[in-house]
Amino acid sequence: MKNCSILIMVAIGGLFLLSGATIAAADPSQNIRLGRESLTQEHPQLALSYFRKARNEINLNLEKYQADRLAALAGLGYAALWVGNSHEAERAYIEGISIARSSEDQKTMRVGLARALINLGRPREAYDTLKPVRSMGADPQLQSAIASSLLNWDTVAQKHLDLSAPHEVYPGPQWQAQLFRQTSDYVYYPLHDRINLGYHYSSDSDHNINQIYQAGVTIPGYGLGDNTLSPTMWYAGFRQTQINDSNGQIGFSSLDGGWSAPLNTNWQYSIIGGISTARRWTFGDVNAQINYQPTDSWGLNLSYDRGPIRTVTAVENRILVNTVSIGGFGRLRNIGTLGVAYFHQAFSDAIQRDGVVARVTPEFYSFSSLPISLGVQGYFRTYTSSVGIVNGGYFNPHHYLEALGYVIYVQKFSPYSVMRLYAGYGSQTVDDVTTPVADFYGTITDIVSHYLQISLTGGYTEIASAYGGGSGYHRSYVGANFTIPF
């Protein structure tokens, strides 16, 4: 009996101990404290796990732990941003905004949400999110500068930068001071006169080699737009194109000029045109487009392009192509983006084309603790030509269709400097003959310093182009552009 009593007492004591352990484990304030300590020690992944536990415990008894809810959400959002999980950060900050009562708490939540939205490619929404707290210090001004610069509102971006650091020294932690310097460099370029230098090289299996050298100057100024958002960018330049293939060699020189500007927060447009000469042939070329994008979720585009086909035979035959395109995109949040465009091409040898291009891009997957994303994209293009293949110096089947699936690797070095790598596989059908194709290309945009901006492109493709096509066709290309402010 005595032994039985002892066993009962031990069991009861064990239950009390277990109950105490359960209470301790279910204490969200303890996990919040551990999460904050982990952030201080620069262990964001561990901090994220603590804040997740705290949030889950709070959700089991909202009435009891309501006082801890905002702190858990703030820590969760901050840690999620640190490890690159912008979707989770977005959800945490949206929930936090709905319960934040003080203006300081609203600022914390809205600045965090703006950071997440910028990372997710939604700068317009980020800028609007900051409106109620924009005047409350350096943090919302800096995020407003980043969002407006990504929207090409350069004058607005400079205003917010000045307000975030009126003495040109950012009064925040080191990582924010570095972000301020990156933003300052990015905003510096479009607001200053600058020299533009570029080079492009391509070579294909038909021995067609293109080399393009260009030099120009861009001067921000006034006129033909809403200059309270951004200056009107005036451009003038010279371009030299050299073409070599099995039919010989030919070159043409071009003088170009034009401008670009926002009409308001929803409309932007650009016009670049000029005169080119090739031997005894003088012709005009132009590229013009207008974009309407009232939100991050959808937009429309209309463009017109006129230029030569860059093969020796086409230039000798004086072939120009006029292309009109109208399209748009729509985004379903946390699902993906669909872009579709219709185009019409009229060649100067009386051939007409009509076609459609479509891209389906699901939301990218972001890796924790790394500024890396992986995604996929479906690409489709088809057109019908009024006349079948002719010997006019360019590729022109009667019916053409291509369909590819891409794997895309994206690495961000800053909100502005991004590397994108594409690997695509699929098929193309040329007048009922189907062949497999592959397409690989990449782009890097980076501001190397306060004095130089570089953009690089390169790729290898088996997809038909105006230069050539069909089974076995392939083309390689590289390009570089340098911008030097003065």
Domain identity same for 392 and 447: yes
Residue 19 above 60 pLDDT? no
Instruction: Extract the tokens encoding 175.
Output: 């990582």
pLDDT-derived band at 82 (thresholds 50, 70, 90) equals confident
Q: Do 228 and 128 lie in a common domain? A: no
One-letter amino acid identity for 194?
A: R
Per-residue model confidence as pLDDT tens digits over 270-320: 999 999 999 889 999 999 999 999 999 999 999 999 999 999 999 999 999
Distance CA 423, CA 437 (A): 11
The predicted structure's pLDDT at residue 255: 97
Tell me what pLDDT residue 444 has: 93
Q: Which of 127, 72, 86, 110 is nearest to 333 (CA)?
A: 86
The count of domains in the chain is 2
On whether residue 366 sits in a domain, the answer given is: yes
Judge if 159 and 206 occupy the same domain. no
CATH code: domain of residue 229: 2.40.160
pLDDT higher than 80, residue 9 = no
Q: Are residues 43 and 132 in the same domain?
A: yes
* pLDDT at position 461 over 70: yes
For residue 450, the model assigns a pLDDT of 80
The pLDDT value given to residue 26? 64
Instruction: Tell me the pTM.
Output: 0.84
One domain for residues 206 and 343: yes
What SS3 state is found at 109? Answer: helix
Cβ burial of 391 (10 Å; 0-12, 13-18, 19+) is exposed
Residues 210 and 158 reside in one and the same domain: no
Does some domain include residue 11? no
Three-class secondary structure of residue 463 per DSSP: coil
Query: Where is the domain boundary, 145, 163, 188?
Result: 188
Contact 427, 403 (CB under 8 A): yes
Under DSSP, is residue 317 helix (H, G, I), strand (E, B) or coil?
coil
> Is position 369 within any domain?
yes
What is the per-residue pLDDT for 369? 62
- Per-residue pLDDT tens over the stretch 84-118: 888 899 999 999 999 999 999 999 999 999 999 99
Residue 6 has pLDDT above 70, yes or no: no
Q: Residue 72 belongs to what domain range? A: 31-188
Same domain, 300 and 360: yes
Q: pLDDT higher for 16 or 1? A: 1
Tokens standing for 240?
């030299």
What is the pLDDT, as a whole number, of residue 264? Answer: 96
The arithmetic mean of pLDDT across residues 177-194, rounded, is 88
CATH code of residue 138: 1.25.40.10
Does position 415 have pLDDT exceeding 90, yes or no? no
Instruction: Tell me: pLDDT of 390 over 70.
Output: no
Scan for tokens 């005009």, then name that residue: 284
Q: Which amino acid is at 449?
A: S
What's the pLDDT score for residue 328? 98
Average pLDDT over residues 475-483: 96
Tokens representing 332?
Answer: 């379903």
Give backbone dihedrals phi and psi of 49, rounded to 5 degrees, phi first.
-65, -40
Query: Once rounded to an integer, what is the mean pLDDT over residues 34-56?
Result: 91
> Is 18 within the bounds of a domain?
no
Which residue type is seen at 186?
A: Y
Q: Are residues 228 and 131 in the same domain?
A: no
Expressed in percent and rounded to 5, the helix, strand and coil fractions of the chain are 35, 40, 25
Contact between 328 and 340 (Cβ < 8 Å): yes
State what percent of residues in the chain have pLDDT above 90: 70
- Let me know if residue 8 belongs to a domain: no
* Same domain (yes/no): 178, 199: no
Residues 210 and 183 in one domain: no
Q: How far apart are CA 168 and CA 371, in angstroms?
A: 28
pLDDT at position 393 over 60? yes
Residue 15 CB partners (closer than 8 Å, separation 6+)? none
Tell me the two tokens of residue 102: 């003080």
Over residues 64-68, mean pLDDT = 86
* CA trace torsion 359, 118, 270, 310 (10° rounding): -50
Of the candidates 68, 49, 75, 35, the residue with the CA atom closest to the CA atom of residue 60 = 68
Q: Which of 161, 188, 215 is the endpoint of a domain?
A: 188
Q: Is residue 139 located within the same domain as residue 209?
A: no
Tokens representing residue 72 in the block: 């858990």
> Is the Cβ–Cβ distance between 457 and 424 less than 8 Å?
no
DSSP code for 40: H
Dig out the tokens for 467 from the structure.
């230069």
Flag whether pLDDT at 458 surpasses 90: yes
The per-residue pLDDT for 310 is 92
Whether 325 is in a domain gets the answer: yes
Total residue length of the chain: 486
Give pLDDT tens digits for 323-370. Answer: 999 999 999 887 899 999 999 999 999 999 999 999 999 988 877 666
Q: Is residue 229 part of a domain?
A: yes
Cβ neighbour number for residue 482 with a 10 Å cutoff: 16
Residues 125 and 259 both lie in one domain: no
- Cβ-based neighbours of 278, under 8 Å, separated by 6 or more: 250, 251, 252, 253, 308, 315
In a domain, 26, yes or no: no
pLDDT category of residue 64 using cuts at 50, 70 and 90: confident
Q: Domain boundary residue among 188, 221, 256?
A: 188
Q: What are phi and psi for residue 94, nearest 5 degrees?
A: -60, -45
